[in-house]
């Protein structure tokens, strides 16, 4: 009887070690090319589409004000520190910077929208929190994919849990392509982000050159 109890304790401890190993912060990274950046027609969401995953975020005040502004063409942006945790929750930070040669009118508008002066620069720093979904065979038309981007760009993500655990919990993308070609998120149409100078992880602007 005593032997059985000791065996049971050993099994429980071993299971605990395996579980903790699966959930240990391994900090593994992967990169993939960004296919498209889109915003929901109601302005509540923005989506980064890549080949393997789709990243869905609630719209932030800083990005919303920038997308809706007249100065958005003068903005450079970068996204970094993307980390995926349990339930495929993803967090990261973004940094917006107004072009140094922006007009005084654009500078004033950016400051009114929440940007701040940082030496000679006018910047906005914020964070995003959303969810990662498996692309699941979702395929954009080439014409739609090439409209906003003139080349491929990479996004780097750190997975704080083991890939096996995250893969088991990854949901299939909530995006769908309608009969008329419209792309929808939760039944809300998406529109392409065009004309905004966005950079991913310090890469050159998406619409530069």
Q: Per-residue confidence at 102, pLDDT binned at 50, 70, 90?
A: very high
Q: What CA–CA distance (Å, rounded) separates 91 from 80?
A: 9
Rounded alpha-carbon distances, angstroms, from residue 36 to 22, 30, 64, 127: 32, 18, 17, 20
pLDDT of residue 22: 41
CA angle 47, 65, 125 (to 5 degrees): 80
Residue 152's closest CA among 33, 26, 71? 33
What is the pTM for the complete model shown?
A: 0.74
- Which residue is it, tokens 């905004």? 196
Q: What is the DSSP letter of 27?
A: -
pLDDT tens for 20-54 read 444 444 568 888 877 778 888 888 898 888 888 99
pLDDT tens for 46-100 read 888 888 899 999 998 888 888 888 888 788 877 777 899 888 899 988 888 999 9
């Amino acid at each position: 009887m005593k032997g059985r109890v000791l065996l049971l304790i050993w099994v429980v401890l071993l299971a605990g070690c395996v579980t903790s190993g699966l959930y240990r912060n391994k900090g593994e990274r992967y990169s993939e090319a960004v296919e498209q950046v889109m915003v929901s027609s109601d302005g509540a969401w923005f989506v980064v589409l890549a080949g393997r995953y789709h990243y869905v975020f609630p719209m932030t005040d800083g990005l919303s004000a920038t997308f809706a502004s007249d100065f958005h063409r003068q903005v450079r942006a970068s996204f970094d520190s993307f980390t995926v945790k349990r339930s495929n929750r993803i967090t990261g930070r973004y940094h917006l910077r107004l072009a140094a040669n922006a007009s005084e009118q654009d500078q004033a508008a950016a400051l009114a929208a929440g940007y701040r002066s940082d030496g000679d620069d006018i910047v906005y720093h914020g964070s995003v929190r959303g969810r990662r979904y498996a692309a699941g065979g979702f395929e954009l038309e080439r014409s739609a994919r090439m409209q906003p981007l003139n080349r491929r760009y990479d996004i780097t993500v750190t997975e704080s849990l083991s890939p096996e655990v995250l893969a088991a919990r990854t949901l299939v993308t909530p995006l769908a392509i309608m009969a008329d070609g419209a792309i929808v998120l939760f039944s809300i149409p998406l529109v392409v982000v065009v004309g905004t100078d966005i950079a991913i992880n310090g890469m050159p602007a998406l619409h530069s050159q």
